[in-house]
Amino acid sequence: MAKIESLDEESPETDERQEDDRQLTYADYLHLDQLLGAQQPRSRPVHHDELLFIIQHQTSELWLKLILHELISARDGFRNDQIPLALKRLARVKHIQHTLADQWSILATLTPSEYLQFRDFLATSSGFQSYQYRAVEFILGNKDAKLITGFDHDEQASAMLAALLNSPSLYDEFLHHLSRQGYPIPTAVLNRDPTLPYVADDRLLPTFKIIYTDPQQHWAAYETCEELIDIEDNFQLWRFRHLKTVERTIGHKVGTGGSSGVDFLHKALDRTFFPELYAVRTILEPAGRRDG
């Protein structure tokens, strides 16, 4: 007869895990040796302010990683009609966005003369090359297949961007959710090619007008629309703070990666993720006029 282990007997694997847990330190858990060793200034002699520049961008990438994590989960929430879950994720994203925007005030303490002491050592590296930033824009609907080719040298980045390019955006999934709840969403919108950037469609305005005309009756949809607006507002604030920080640091110089710098950032302010949620405000009418 086979020996049956008692349920209260610990297996060797459990013993090993518990032993490892007892030896786990704060530094081990957070891999602080790798994290704190990742700041490698390139200037020679090392300029004091380069450490600020490196940490600013490294922490931004960590926050972008968490934003992606939360937005993907929020998108899944819309897909599964789990609106409370999606709203929870979006609420966290909004707090992260505030932190990212506030970080620009730290980098803004870097004066032009200080930055020029090490700028040439950045060579062709640029924040324009951040694949996680591109990924955030992709999941929010601002997609551009051509941008993926810029990451051909990075298999992980290319795979992430390709997956987001070929899957519905956060807004796409929200519109599908509204359709399943009985709101009139045009078939052409529901069946659109998800690899293309989202383009405003006026045929959605009557639907959002219904929601905004009677928020109490359509509270779940109304609250979600406003959360999405908050996400976009915060994103635009981050873009604006980025622009002003760059402007006060390098003026209108060309970016290290070859972008047009401030001029490029100005153009980015015109991009929108959820155009109908802004456009509906133009067509709303006062309650008295509706009743009359």
Is 55 one of the annotated binding-site residues? Answer: yes
Is 53 one of the annotated binding-site residues? Answer: yes
Is 54 one of the annotated binding-site residues? Answer: yes
Is 57 one of the annotated binding-site residues? Answer: yes
CB-neighbour burial class of residue 259 (10 A; exposed 0-12, middle 13-18, buried 19+): middle
Is 119 one of the annotated binding-site residues? Answer: yes
Residue 97 contacts residue 235 (beta carbons within 8 Å) = yes
User: What was the pLDDT predicted at 208?
Assistant: 98
Among 119-123, 133-137, 148-152, 251-255, the range scoring the smallest mean pLDDT is 251-255
Residues present in the chain in total: 292
List CB contacts of 275: < 8 A, sequence separation 6 or more: 198, 199, 200
Sorted by where each starts, the structural domains of the chain and their CATH numbers stand as 2-10+49-283 (1.20.58.480)
Is 56 one of the annotated binding-site residues? Answer: yes
The model carries a pTM of: 0.89
User: What was the pLDDT predicted at 4?
Assistant: 43
* pLDDT, tens digit, 9 for 90 and up, residues 153-167: 999 999 999 999 999
SS (H, E, C) 118-157: CHHHHCCCCHHHCHHHHHHHHHCCCCCHHHHHHHCCCHHH
Please state the rounded mean pLDDT for residues 130-146: 97
